[in-house]
Structure 1
């Protein structure tokens, strides 16, 4: 049994005790095949929150600095995270993400590139759009709503898959594809207000 599988019910119990969690649209996530989950990013609590709410195991990118902390770096790797050098077009991280998606894994990314606990969403970086255009992964927009505080309400909404065939026919720039993804995330956020 992997640390991810072992830890998931423990993390789930922690989140259920400390937050009031609800989820919508989990049925939109395919049970197999590459899946790119693109979400807004409120806090470092976001990756485990999304990970405990879906049936599939989930990989995610994390900033390289976290992997330099001895215990934390090893833990993150066991929890299916891999490092990215932000702001540099990290080719190693891009290759890892592409391989995961092409091999049928689920990958969580935050198109804004870093935490943004305040509205409105910032412009998405080109990474999400690049993966959307270069792989056959299902693209699932995701919105995290709420504030992480003891017994505060946290809601996660998984939107309907973005039509990747249509996206590829209409758009050929990664930045434009990312803008479409960000628009879908913003629509999910707007519906909750």
Structure 2
């Protein structure tokens, strides 16, 4: 973990934990080492920092390319090991970078829905999550953020046990099928902690 990441995590945690009364469940499920594909639902712009401060290990996020063009923010998220992805198309460079993160034993954070849910309910996931889950031996950890984000109201972040991918990998399941399985785990966590 870089010094910048540690400092940023401490500062953000100091602000967000009391403001949203964040309650974290299931951290014990998080693998202590090895590559982890961390897949969460997406309800607010604050989801990446909230997942970042509650996960037991540093998380590198794929983030939409436009964010890296925003003055100051682009520099900050780059220093937090985030990397850009072009939305709405197959971005080979981003896919390669994500695979390398996982193969190096790092934690890659994804919001498989690709965009924020307007209703707070867990939507349909895009194929990227299934792609990373099938192309590596990384643990696949589902995460549910149960909102809404309202100051001084409780916000829950729930980590589930890693999803067993062995059978899906051996039978060469399709990326859409695997993504839907990941989303069903996130949905179950979300609905059972409302």
Post-superposition Cα deviations, 1:139-170, rounded to whole Å, max 9, x if no partner, equal 00110001112112100110111001022134
1:34 aligns with 2:35: yes
Q: What do you get for the CA RMSD once the two structures are aligned?
A: 1.2
Aligned equivalent of 2:188: 187
Is the partner of 2:21 in helix, strand or coil?
Answer: strand
8 A contact 1:20–1:154 mirrored in 2: yes
8 A contact 1:171–1:177 mirrored in 2: no
Cα distance in structure 1, aligned partners of 2:5 and 2:19: 20
Aligned equivalent of 2:82: 81
Equivalenced residues, count: 193
Output the TM-score relative to the length of structure 2. Answer: 0.95
Cα distance in structure 2, aligned partners of 1:178 and 1:45: 23
Structural mapping, 1:1-193, within 5 Å? 2-193=3-194
In structure 1, the gaps of 5 or more residues are: none
Cα distance in structure 2, aligned partners of 1:172 and 1:164: 10
8 A contact 1:41–1:117 mirrored in 2: no
Output the TM-score relative to the length of structure 1. Answer: 0.96
Cα distance in structure 2, aligned partners of 1:145 and 1:85: 27
Cα distance in structure 2, aligned partners of 1:58 and 1:121: 21
In structure 2, the gaps of 5 or more residues are: none
Deviation at 1:55, TM superposition (A): 2.3
Is the partner of 1:141 in helix, strand or coil?
Answer: strand
Is the partner of 1:163 in helix, strand or coil?
Answer: coil
Cα distance in structure 2, aligned partners of 1:2 and 1:120: 36
Is the partner of 1:70 in helix, strand or coil?
Answer: coil
